[in-house]
Amino acid sequence: MIRTTPFYERLSELNATGLWGHWSGYLSALRYDMSAKHEYFAVRNSAGFFDTSPLYKYWIRGKDAERFLAGVMTRDIRLCRPGRAQYTLWCDDRGFVLEDGVVFRHSDTEFFMTTAEPNLGYFRDLVGRLDVQIDDVTADYGVLAVQGPRSREILHRLAPEVEKLRFFELTPAKIAGSSVTVSRTGYTGDLGFEIFTGADDALGVLDALIEAGAGHGLRPFGEDALLMCRIEAGLVLINVEFQSSRLAFTDHDRVTPKELGFGWMLRGIEADDRPFIGRRAIRRELADGTSRWSSVGLLVDWQDYDRLYRAAGLVPPKDETPLGYESMLYDDDGNRVGYATSLMYSPALQRHIAMARVQPRLAAPGSRVNVELTINHHYETVAADVARLPLFNPTRKTA
């Protein structure tokens, strides 16, 4: 059964293309305008809003809720005080990543969590005798991501509390007379916020947002523009940058937090007071240096890229649509040394960029690799430099 989000009635009126995709059983706009680039530039230059309601949402409550999450999540939830959010991962016993999500801490005993895939049964099976209640409230809430350099100015007109909201903080607020939670989070790598509202109040909140954004260039944006933004921002996507270990056929499709670029989440892993799932395997990986990959960014040599196409009698394409497949990476001797998971032309950086995995020996910024591409039905390689992620990281994101 195809479902619609609490915002669909209004968003369908704004969708000039009529293009919808399926996200967790919900209709989700691919783009509202004929060009996703118009929506992308709204996010980068003014502001846009995106319907993230199809995310799975769970309330995790009880006097043992913190203890429960500390024993499941790779990142230490005990360091997240009430009024803050935390991006995190959870792993299997072998230290391979199952999934990622964001935990919003409302109080000492109340946590709200969003995930891309369903995890209710998995989490409930881990509760045991702990005093923890986990409820799936996916259909009860609408979520709007308001992103871009003017997002704070627009939202301040509706909820003055956002003015002092720091990166990954959250606050209760009132919009159009409805109680909401606003967090300074998002998936674009830009200044941005997310509004969590009850499903029954969703249209009123959206209408108030649209009215507040009049004259500020605010517009809706769909999945196509979101994917462009998230690659520039170096934000991983399940089933693209990684597969859930639960569903992978072989270890070639599995990845550890370190290999996925989240070694920073493992601070404090040496302490014995938090034996989270996968800890032993991850500690062994770190101690023995057995990581197979390093996650990096790539900056394609635009002169080499243009030369290859012009030599073939073609105009060098500059397509911002991310490739839907992996691109192999080679060293100068022709040995395969990794693969790009997401490759696209960045409108902001005006060059081809990628999120990629390389052998650890090539992870240092400035290392050279060669990206495989096809020209006139023939394999070619174009030079690229390894760079740290994110490749687009404006100061306004965290300022």
- Using the structure block, give the residue that is written with the tokens 């495989």: 372
Question: Residue ranges per domain, the chain?
Answer: 8-54+139-221, 63-131+256-291, 294-396
pLDDT attached to residue 197? 98
pLDDT in tens, 329-381: 999 999 999 999 999 999 999 999 999 999 999 999 999 999 999 999 999 99
Looking at CATH, the fold of the domain delimited by 294-396 is given as: Elongation Factor Tu (Ef-tu); domain 3 (2.40.30)
pLDDT attached to residue 1? 78
pLDDT attached to residue 19? 96
pLDDT attached to residue 273? 92
pLDDT attached to residue 188? 98
How far is it, in rounded angstroms, from Cα 111 to Cα 67?
12
Q: Which amino acid is at 74?
A: T
pLDDT attached to residue 178? 98
Collect the ranges in the chain with pLDDT lower than 70: none
pLDDT attached to residue 243? 97
- Which CATH superfamily, name and number, covers 8-54+139-221? Probable tRNA modification gtpase trme; domain 1 (3.30.1360.120)
Q: Please give the CATH number for the structural domain made up of 63-131+256-291.
A: 3.30.70.1400
pLDDT attached to residue 55? 98
